[in-house]
Amino acid sequence: MPGYSPQEIEKKWQAHWQAQQTFKADNSSAKPKFYALDMFPYPSGAGLHVGHPLGYIASDIVARYKRLRGYNVLHPMGFDSFGLPAEQYAIQTGQHPAVTTEKNIDTYIRQLSSLGFSYDWSREIRTSDPAYYKWTQWIFLKLFNSWYNLDTNRAEPLKTLLAKFEQNGSEGIRAAGGDEERHSFTAGQWQSFTEKQRLQAVHPYRLAYQQDTYVNWCAGLGTVLSNDEVKDGLSERGGFPVERRLMPQWNLRITAYADRLLQGLDTLDWPDAVKEMQRNWIGRSIGAEVTFPIKNEELKIKNSVGESTDGQQPTTNNQQPAIKVYTTRVDTIYGATFLVLAPEHELVQQLTTPEQQQTITDYIDATKRRSERDRMADVKAVSGAFTGSYAVNPVSGEPVPIWIADYVLAGYGTGAVMAVPSGDQRDYLFAKHFHLPIVQVTDAQQALDEQADPTKEGRYINSGIINGLGYKEATTKLIEFLEEKGLGKGKTNFRIRDAIFGRQRYWGEPIPIYYKDGVAYGVAEADLPLVLPEIDEYKPTETGEPPLGRAKDWKYKGQYDYELSTMPGWAGSSWYYLRYMDPHNAERFVGEAAEQYWQNVDLYLGGAEHATGHLLYSRFWHLFLKDLGLVTANEPFQKLINQGMILGRSNFVYRINGTNTFVTLGKKDQHQTTALHVDVNIVHNDVLDTEAFKKSRPDYNSAEFILEDDGRYVSGWEVEKMSKAKFNVVNPDVLVGQYGADALRVYEMFLGPLEQFKPWNTNGMSGVGGFLKKFWRLYHPADGAFAVTDEAPKPAELKALHKAIRKVEEDIERFSFNTTVSALMITVNELTALDCHKRAILEPLVVILSPYAPHLAEELWQLLGHEAGSISSATYPEFREEFLVEDTVNYPVAINGKVREQMSFAATATAADIEAAVLGSDFLAKFGDGKTAKKVIVVPGRMVNVVV
């Protein structure tokens, strides 16, 4: 038989697995279940590079190992196939996003299959498939038709809220969300409301609701962007200007779940860094909400609540013209010498005096060009504008000037800050810059002429009713005072804000809402899915409507306008793990029996960049579905691992300035040069293929080279992020063709710990390829015929095997894949040295290799006489301690602490036996210089020291 030929073997077994559906999982089994999941990819046109499969290989190793341990394993794959890149490509080329997405998915499936992943492809899902997004829309309708009852601390169908309205009107209802948009009415008024009035009263309670919201609007892309998609006021994709704009947006009330999302983190086996990021994002704080009345009564500030034409419109709860602020340091309120509002605050225009109008307008215009992330991150620059108006400090009665500044965000808290410059450094810098008062509030504050001092120590001074008190007593007394006067209350607040759930783009799930008489209605569940209509162009209309505004005759029941926004990219990914459990169920988003069997994901692998996006939203959706009794597990992902990034190894050529001549690395210091990235695929062991380089670009056709003395062009190198722009992307197809998929799998694990960043170096692939060839030769000596014998194994062979059995088991269980590869390499070297070709050793050895190199393992397993393709149903070999027990122990033997030689003794020898053997040998004669032994110290299993 010829030598090891990975390409031939791998195609054979990939075809077998596909034909036999080897990895198809059952939704019921007497075996324990294990659900291993990768964060599914967005299918970009570029396909995979070698950095992408890292996590997929790790999860596949675990999935294959768990099958060997007797688990029923669910290991699915699908595609997050809605997204802005496909739409942008459609705008540029006129090609429908579905066409390019389909083509890209075909590429991904081919590449993933070529790497031998044990996916259950019968469960593949695509978020852009109407059969899938029907259920995304269905979950949205459940959110739209639910509210969060603070008394029961869970979401409930709206029918329970309507029952309360019928009985007592709005009185006594405790619901998540702010009261500003809600109405007060009696049961009698409710009975007399029209359908429209009832829906308007209910809307502010919904978990999916529409509200005017400040968003990052990108006119160049024609859509709203998340903070993550904006950098320095420009869109990350395309570099178009982005501005903050108030637009009607659909929101999901994730804030209702803030406390539960925090508490649930304690039950999860996730990286501490990810859990801490979520805690910070949720941002729970305990403080007080304080009302600052407006001093400038002549401004006649109103609530701007529309008048009802029929006299039946309920009244809003917020009637008094005032500014509410949330503070965690109400104890410092006597030091609040000014208020700062977000430039977007609803009262800014009404508070602005004529003299300040231009200043305020200019400042607001400048703020629109900055993203919230930029505003939060910029802690050095000081800017702001005075409105001309004053509020009244509710405890001191002193007038407080009202400013606006971009470091205050409209969506956090109340959009207003009680500025205490003596206790907060940002307020301090603002006060210094604009020459505002700084009032010391405790006798422990120091160096206020240099910086703020936030200490809670000492006693309060300059603080009216709390003078002389400590922090706790002062806080309690102030909250009691504010509540008694109706000017404030104790309150727990969260940094997290409701999630914007709309994008003004085409390639996304249509939101299943239609409008009747200006009021939002949910599409009937029986009419789902609401499928994307065909349109002539994929950009906004000439009148500024989203692309769906181009659809002709697209109306619900032929008469009602649909919502023209589509869902954000994270909609379909928030619940996809559930659909994998039962992907072909046409009656339910997931069958009850399937969900109860699989419960949740046991191992989830993906990038840490999803910590506060996808992972948080998925937990929110899961808790909501749990409230409605639709799922049984408390959390979606029990264990999370964030794989590190594989960095590219870039290569450089050095062009002599002003010429088309390139000088080799060893001689570049003799010239003035510019380093240019060169395609790593035409560089081998840092030696450039100069002919391939000349063909790579037209302007390099006439390139000349100053070479090393041996005639080579040696390029420079550097470790950087892998990207097309740096020409350091390595296509796995090339490596699979050259070395085989098993070699690529093993090499990526060998690079280093899974969670760490690590540099890619294609040169290392040959070493791993050599290891697999050496493994093959244990079964095919000298690359000849299959020659495994049934001879009884020797103790040394059993020892090598069982060390490997234990090491591989321990390492996979703790996800230390790189050390497993090292251990297997050592084992193969040991068995090669022992000239071992015995079935009793090599049969279990191929089983423990199979999670890493499954194609090679399947081939050898069949040659060993087993049914084709059956290694996945084999049993992981049992580790036996007795094979590691040593018969003899080597002892270093020293004189006066200096080791002179090694001596072997039986493992059962006592200290007295060892002492007698040493003294009875020629050891002292050789090394003792004629001296006699005063004492012999024996450290069992370690060493012997003869004192002379």
Degrees (nearest 5) of the Cα angle 403, 460, 493? 55
Three-state DSSP at 781 gives: helix
**Is-contact 185 170, C-beta < 8 A?**
yes
From CA 347, how far away is CA 577, in angstroms rounded? 44
Cα 669 to chain centroid distance, Å, stands at: 44
Listed residue (801, 797, 799, 794) closest to 885, CA to CA: 799
DSSP letter assigned to residue 535: -
From CA 773, how far away is CA 3, in angstroms rounded? 8
Terminal-to-terminal C-alpha distance of the chain: 64
Cα torsion angle, 515, 520, 526, 529, sign: positive
> Cβ of 117: how many Cβ atoms within 10 Å?
24
Half-sphere exposure (Cβ direction) of 494: Cα atoms closer than 13 Å: 20
Q: b/e for 300-322, b at 16 or more Cβ within 10 A? A: ebeeeeeeeeeeebbebeeeebb
From CA 393, how far away is CA 292, in angstroms rounded? 6
Q: Is 12 annotated as a binding residue?
A: no
Q: Considering all CA atoms of the chain, what is the largest pairwise distance in Å, rounded to the nearest integer?
A: 121
**Is-contact 521 315, C-beta < 8 A?**
no
> Distances in Å between the alpha carbon of 517 and those of 192, 197, 521?
19, 11, 10
Listed residue (542, 506, 503) closest to 217, CA to CA: 503
Degrees (nearest 5) of the Cα angle 200, 201, 202? 95
Amino acid 340 reads V
Amino acid 488 reads G
**Is-contact 878 69, C-beta < 8 A?**
no
From CA 368, how far away is CA 406, in angstroms rounded? 9
**Is-contact 113 854, C-beta < 8 A?**
no
Cα torsion angle, 452, 456, 459, 464, sign: positive
> Cβ of 943: how many Cβ atoms within 10 Å?
16
Mark out the alpha helices in 354-488 (DSSP H runs).
Answer: 357-368, 372-377, 425-434, 471-485
Listed residue (283, 216, 225, 286) closest to 254, CA to CA: 283
User: Binding-site residues, please?
Assistant: 724
User: Binding-site residues for ATP, please?
Assistant: 724
